Structure 1
Amino acid sequence: MMRAVLTLVFTVIVTILAVDASAATGDCSAAPATIGRFQPAAQSQAAPTVPFYDAAGKARTFADYPGQPLIVNLWATWCPPCVQEMPALDRLVELLRAERAAVLALSSDREGAPVVQRFFEAHAIRRLEILVDRKTAVTRALAAPGLPTTIVFDRNGRELGRVVGVAEWDAPETLAFLKRCLGGQP
């Protein structure tokens, strides 16, 4: 009898841990059409340690966002598809606030922060921080094939997947998918 009880308790604990682990990693399958061609990571790679820079020229890395899921968008002001999705990414900052996710738009513009600041002002981008990927170091470290490319990282800095091309970042279906993928409820 005692053996049966211990087996049952062990089974319940293992089940709870398995459910908790799957919730932590999230479900990144079945992406909606609004997110474009989301490619789940075949192997969960760690976010690179290559620096990028804020508007003041201070070096930053993805490690500066400990415990936060990251939505990293690689873009440029001269890229029409990038320009198209920038307002939706700006709105996504607010929409993912409860998940403590950081939306980082890293510009590869050679002119740096001043051109990004002018772009943000002209397009009423108010929530995204000005971040610059000098000499496309982060873009190369992430092996991005083109712009825009958006990479989703979990709270542990591991890649969950990526989108190459435009997505409707503020669409309800996309938001539900991201919440599910990041381990929360849709």
Structure 2
Amino acid sequence: MTNTTETGQRPKRKLFVAGIAGAVAALAAVYVIVSPNGNSIGATSCTQALKTAQNVKPFATGEVAAFLPAQKPLPLSELTFKNPDGTVATMLDFKGKTVLMNLWATWCAPCRKEMPALNDLQADLGSEDFEVVAVNLDRGGLDKPKAFLAEIGVDNLTLYHDGTNKLMTDLRSKARATGLPTTILVGQDGCEIGTMYGPAEWASGEAKKLIEAALKSVSG
């Protein structure tokens, strides 16, 4: 009787142990898949951006209260768009410089409204350490955005553009740029410091303090 019971329990024990081993293996597999593409990059490539995001968080107030400091900064160096002459530009071209990348279009009313403030921000803080990179997403060439910027007197911003929708697609694949305008503060390491969805008064005192905090974080 005893032998029969023990014999009957052995397969169950083996199945139980096998089940635990399988669960551990499955968890390990999930970690291996996720970690190299997420945690690993964030920990090694975007360390400075994470530090800067934490430092600027107290300055996300007033006109830039909706600015979201990155908790897991995304590497953005591979993003591409066009220079005014049609040559390819990448965020890697701005390495060593803090960038406020703004996505806009002439058909976007909030984008049009905030453009003068972005122009003023570039005039006030633009330097070899900081640049407002406003990327126009109009289709059909540059005539319309050029005319609009000339009409409102924007003369401090370079007319970067992307009429292919690739930039938006690439950012959406990273769960960013769900609409226009979208503005991303990018650190010298090419990583996201934080993101703003919707318009802001970028020439305001609060916005400038946020940018200055980011620059100070790098120099400090």
Normalising by structure 2, report the TM-score. Answer: 0.69
Give the structure 1 partner of residue 67 of structure 2. Answer: 38
Contact 2:140 2:163 in 1 (8 A): no
1:134 to partner: Cα distance: 2.5
1 or 2 for the larger relative contact order (CA 8 Å, sep ≥6)? 1
Moved more, 161-170 or 33-42: 33-42
Q: Could you tell me the percent identity over the aligned residues?
A: 32
1:38-117 alignment, distance < 5 Å: 38-98=67-127, 100-117=129-146
Q: 2:56 aligns with which of 19, 23, 28?
A: 28
Give structure 1 stretches of 5+ with no counterpart: 1-20
The structure with the larger Rg is: 2
Equivalents in 1 of 2:195, 2:215: separation in Å? 13
Secondary structure of residue in 2 paired with 1:142: helix
Give the structure 2 partner of residue 156 of structure 1. Answer: 189
Give the structure 1 partner of residue 147 of structure 2. Answer: 118
Q: For residues 115 and 93 of structure 1, do their structure 2 counterparts lie closer, same or farther at Cα, with a shift above 3 Å needed?
A: same
Aligned residue type for 1:40: P
Contact 1:35 1:166 in 2 (8 A): no
Correspondence 1:139 to 2:168: yes
Normalising by structure 1, report the TM-score. Answer: 0.81
Cα deviation 1:45-100 (Å, max 9, x = unaligned): 11142321122211111111120011000010110000000000011112222572
Give the structure 1 partner of residue 203 of structure 2. Answer: 170
Q: For residues 177 and 50 of structure 1, do their structure 2 counterparts lie closer, same or farther at Cα, with a shift above 3 Å needed?
A: closer
Secondary structure of residue in 1 paired with 2:138: coil
Equivalents in 2 of 1:183, 1:170: separation in Å? 18
Structure 1 segments (4+ residues) deviating >6 Å: none
Contact 1:72 1:151 in 2 (8 A): yes
Equivalents in 2 of 1:109, 1:46: separation in Å? 25
1:181 to partner: Cα distance: 2.7
How many pairs are equivalent? 165
Aligned residue type for 1:88: A
Q: For residues 57 and 166 of structure 1, do their structure 2 counterparts lie closer, same or farther at Cα, with a shift above 3 Å needed?
A: same
RMSD: 2.1
Secondary structure of residue in 2 paired with 1:119: helix
Aligned residue type for 2:133: L
Equivalents in 2 of 1:71, 1:49: separation in Å? 16
Contact 1:53 1:59 in 2 (8 A): yes
Aligned residue type for 1:97: G
Richer in helix (by share): 2
